Chains A and B, each alone.
Chain A
Amino acid sequence: MRMTPALVLVGSVVIFTASVFAVIVVPWQTMAHQPSAAWRELSADELAGRKLYIANGCTYCHSQFVRTQDWDLGMERISQPGDYLGLSPHLLGTTRTGPDLAQQGGEHPDDWHVAHLVSPRFTRPQSLMPRFEFLGQENIRLLIAYLQGMGGRDADQRVQRQQEWKARAVAAYNAGADENVKWLHDNVPEGWRPLPTPYPATEPSLQRGAKVYQDFCIGCHGPVGDGQGPAAPYLNPPPLNFTTLRRNLVDGKYIGGILYYQIMNGITGTAMPYFKHELESAKIWDVSNFIAANFIGFDDSNTEPAGIDASYEPLRTQKPASGRWRDHGKGDAP
């Protein structure tokens, strides 16, 4: 075959055109352009927020589609073509350096997002996201409006739930420290309340707990557990001061079950997220032990009812009358 200019030119253009037809025009014509059940129009604020999302390249680290293999995310829904109807440009993303945002709406209340955008490490100590304080208050508000709309109608329901519980949480906080704790306790299911931490607060457990605390909790609750972390000024209600729990133990002797439940499930309406996707059971118990031992000054770990000890646990020492494990941290048998 002799490669003449005409052959090279015509051949290239024909192949290119055929390809465009096959992989662009045919999908264009054959795909169903129907909205999904969750789809809705974006509001003016949300569209303005989307422009900020585009301008600042959020799409380079945050994907916007849940894949079939994304079981790590614990999402309730795989993304569908109808979720993206009319959006231009698409923002599906190609890299997931940060979390996927397809269902971000209503995951957190607005104030969490404000703190997070001012400095991502305020709420997420290990984040490597840049600070977006430079956007200014109004633009941060618009960006958050967009984030809270991600997930369409599903997101709207979650946002509404956040708002309802926020009103109650703020009212409880305003009623005073002890009323606040009482409200928090009352919203933990009955079975979880008179429940001690089943694992002993040994030194290794406390060290593991300290690591979890630093990686997940310190930005809001602060290094001494007084709720004065760097994120605190942005949050309403502010993060809990753990020391207020000392005088509000359940039946005067339990706190482990409450800590576990609140860490696992979060407190919707407040900036306290749920951690059940990120922390395995043992890590939640460890950080509960850490908080109890260091900030509450009381831990109920390994008291009755404790069931059969897990095989790795050190032998129990006798429980002193004070209700504290005097040797916690050592884990030695008597």
Chain B
Amino acid sequence: MRLVSDEEHSAARAFLVSGMVWMAIGTTFGLIGGIALAAPDAIRNVPWLVFGRVRPVHVNLVAVGFVPMVLIGAGLYLVPTLLRTRLYGERLAHVGIWLYNAALAIGAIELARGHTQAREYAELTWIPDVLIVGAFVALIISFGGTLARRQEPLLYVSVWYFGAALAVTAALYPLGNAMWNPSTGAVTGVLDAILLWFYGHNVVGLLLTPLALCAAYYLVPAITRAPLYSHTLSMIGFWSLLGFYTHIGGHHLLQAPIPVWLKVISVIDSVMMMIPVLVVLVNLWLTARGRFGDLFASVPGKFVLLGTINYLIVGVQGPLQSLPAVQRVTHFTQWTIAHAHLAVLGFTGMIALGALYYALPRVTGKLVWSERLANTQFWFVFLSVTAFMLVLTGAGLAQGHAWINGETVYRTVPMLSPYMMVRALFGVMLVLAAYLGLYNVLMTIYRGKPVAVEAAEGSVRKPATA
């Protein structure tokens, strides 16, 4: 594999492989952090492995690395396919991948060394920030050129989501990281919290979610061989996502000293988020109506199906937990950690893995090396994210109710212990899943059997556009 190849699909392939590498490294750091919470003296006095440094490495490698990179990799295959052209600027997309990888590598090392902006989801320092914005600019040019050279006049919904995710992220990222302040990457005072949570929640809402929906809108019709249920619903889902998601960051600060009207907006729009979630799911599930068996019969399909089910759970939970009466208990607790894992891993992460296994044979021309390994990975990911959700939600409720009952934080620390141990155990399972996936991808590329030509063409059938 040359560094900057012009071979068709080579950029998509590079994004997929890179994403899986970051999944392996990112979940490993997650496990180290999980172990620290279960057994704080297991690793002692190793500065770069202290929990407070491991955690941002984990969060950034999975939420900025693994999930979006795999989804962009899949998108770089899906979007040109939908537009009936090949990707414009394959080399430019390769430049994007190297900028992106360099940003994550430098960023992770910087975080481990204690160089951080200390703002959740925006920890990466200025140089990685610049590299990431550069990567997105490269991808936007590549996407724009593909769009301009398209043979297909109609834009399928996946294309909207892909384009919007790239365009909005290119604007959101410099703003949220306050890149005009290179030394801090922040503004000052409470405003910094407002800006950060505008950004932090939009990373999920305007980058991960649209990229995941781009893949889901392609995979569900393609795997079930059914036309998309409704063009109108796709539009409602798309525009309402943009309209509501952008206002909800304030629900992280409901008990913080920010203006009350901002809290009101954030709660109302959080509740309104039910609309884009439910509309998209109704659209996808009615598309697959009567053919859920087809989805579950294929590895990409089952990942996507479970991803959409998790989207329902996380998309109903989110609005509910933005309500002040609920947050009174759940705020500041492990409940929020459960929600974040369900959103990033359970929803977008699972769809990313589905998109990976769908796109992989098509961008490598080789059959997935081991279906059985891929299935094992599915069950490991599914079980571990479900366990994270249940265990951390339980821990969060226990903490929150204890505090409301007047217990001090110190008295609630020991009761976290059993939850943290179970979470660390399932963390081992997830890390195994990540390495199995990476192994499978590498073996597919280097040892996979070639896809028969007819089969390949048959299976890249474009899903019906509206």
Q: For A70, give the chain B residue with the smallest CB separation.
A: B403
Asked if B189 is at the interface (CB within 8 A of a chain A CB), the reply is: yes
User: What is the CA–CA distance of A215 and B408 in the complex, to the nearest angstrom?
Assistant: 14
| A8–B172 touching, CB < 8 Å | no
| B190–A84 touching, CB < 8 Å | yes
| A92–B265 touching, CB < 8 Å | no
Chain A residues positioned under 8 Å from B116 (CB to CB)? 54-55, 57
B326-340: which have CB < 8 Å to A?
328, 331-334, 336-337
Shortest distance from the beta carbon of B9 to any chain A beta carbon, whole Å: 23
With contact pairs A55-B115, A96-B333 given, residues A28 and B191 touching in the complex (Cβ less than 8 Å): yes
Chain A residues positioned under 8 Å from B185 (CB to CB)? 89
| B408–A127 touching, CB < 8 Å | no
| A130–B155 touching, CB < 8 Å | no
| A69–B255 touching, CB < 8 Å | yes
Stretch of B238-246, B286-294, B311-319 lying at the A interface: B238-246
With contact pairs A57-B116, A72-B408, A95-B337 given, residues A16 and B259 touching in the complex (Cβ less than 8 Å): no
User: What is the CA–CA distance of A92 and B171 in the complex, to the nearest angstrom?
Assistant: 25
Asked if A38 is at the interface (CB within 8 A of a chain B CB), the reply is: no
Q: For A33, give the chain B residue with the smallest CB separation.
A: B189
| A27–B189 touching, CB < 8 Å | no
With contact pairs A3-B235, A19-B246 given, residues A84 and B189 touching in the complex (Cβ less than 8 Å): yes
Chain B residues positioned under 8 Å from A308 (CB to CB)? none
With contact pairs A11-B242, A12-B168, A55-B116 given, residues A131 and B55 touching in the complex (Cβ less than 8 Å): no
| A59–B118 touching, CB < 8 Å | yes
With contact pairs A16-B246, A23-B247, A96-B333 given, residues A54 and B188 touching in the complex (Cβ less than 8 Å): no
Size range of the interface on B?
Answer: 35 or more
| A31–B191 touching, CB < 8 Å | yes
With contact pairs A16-B242, A128-B413 given, residues A60 and B51 touching in the complex (Cβ less than 8 Å): yes
Q: For B210, give the chain A residue with the smallest CB separation.
A: A12
Picked from A20, A79, A120, the residue with its CB within 8 Å of the CB of B40 is A120
User: What is the CA–CA distance of A288 and B155 in the complex, to the nearest angstrom?
Assistant: 76
Asked if B179 is at the interface (CB within 8 A of a chain A CB), the reply is: no
For chain A, the count of residues having a C-beta within 8 Å of the partner chain is 75
Shortest distance from the beta carbon of A112 to any chain B beta carbon, whole Å: 14
User: What is the CA–CA distance of A74 and B411 in the complex, to the nearest angstrom?
Assistant: 14
Give A299-317 as 1s and 0s: 1 = Cβ < 8 Å from B's Cβ atoms. Answer: 0000000000000000000
Asked if A318 is at the interface (CB within 8 A of a chain B CB), the reply is: no
Chain A residues positioned under 8 Å from B52 (CB to CB)? 56-61, 130
Chain B residues positioned under 8 Å from A100 (CB to CB)? 409
Shortest distance from the beta carbon of B337 to any chain A beta carbon, whole Å: 7
Chain A residues positioned under 8 Å from B341 (CB to CB)? none
Chain B residues positioned under 8 Å from A96 (CB to CB)? 332-333, 399, 409
Shortest distance from the beta carbon of B423 to any chain A beta carbon, whole Å: 13
With contact pairs A89-B117, A130-B51, A278-B411 given, residues A11 and B184 touching in the complex (Cβ less than 8 Å): no
Besides A24-B175, A96-B409, 19 other A-B contacts (C-beta < 8 A): A3-B155, A8-B164, A9-B167, A11-B242, A13-B171, A16-B172, A27-B262, A31-B259, A33-B189, A54-B118, A56-B114, A57-B53, A59-B118, A84-B190, A90-B189, A95-B333, A98-B409, A99-B409, A128-B416
Query: Contact residues of B with A, CB < 8 Å?
Result: 36-37, 40-41, 44-47, 50-53, 55-56, 114-120, 147, 155, 157, 159-160, 163-164, 167-168, 171-172, 175, 181, 184-196, 198, 206, 235, 239, 242-243, 246-247, 249-250, 252-253, 255-259, 262, 265-266, 328, 331-334, 336-337, 399, 403-411, 413-414, 416-417, 420
When A and B form their complex, which 10 residue pairs have the shortest distance between CB atoms, in order from nearest? A57-B52, A55-B114, A19-B246, A89-B186, A67-B255, A96-B332, A90-B192, A54-B118, A81-B257, A134-B45
Jot down 18 A-B pairs with beta carbons below 8 A, ordered by A.
A3-B160, A9-B167, A20-B198, A23-B198, A31-B190, A57-B52, A57-B55, A60-B52, A67-B332, A83-B257, A86-B189, A88-B192, A89-B118, A92-B256, A95-B337, A97-B416, A130-B51, A132-B50
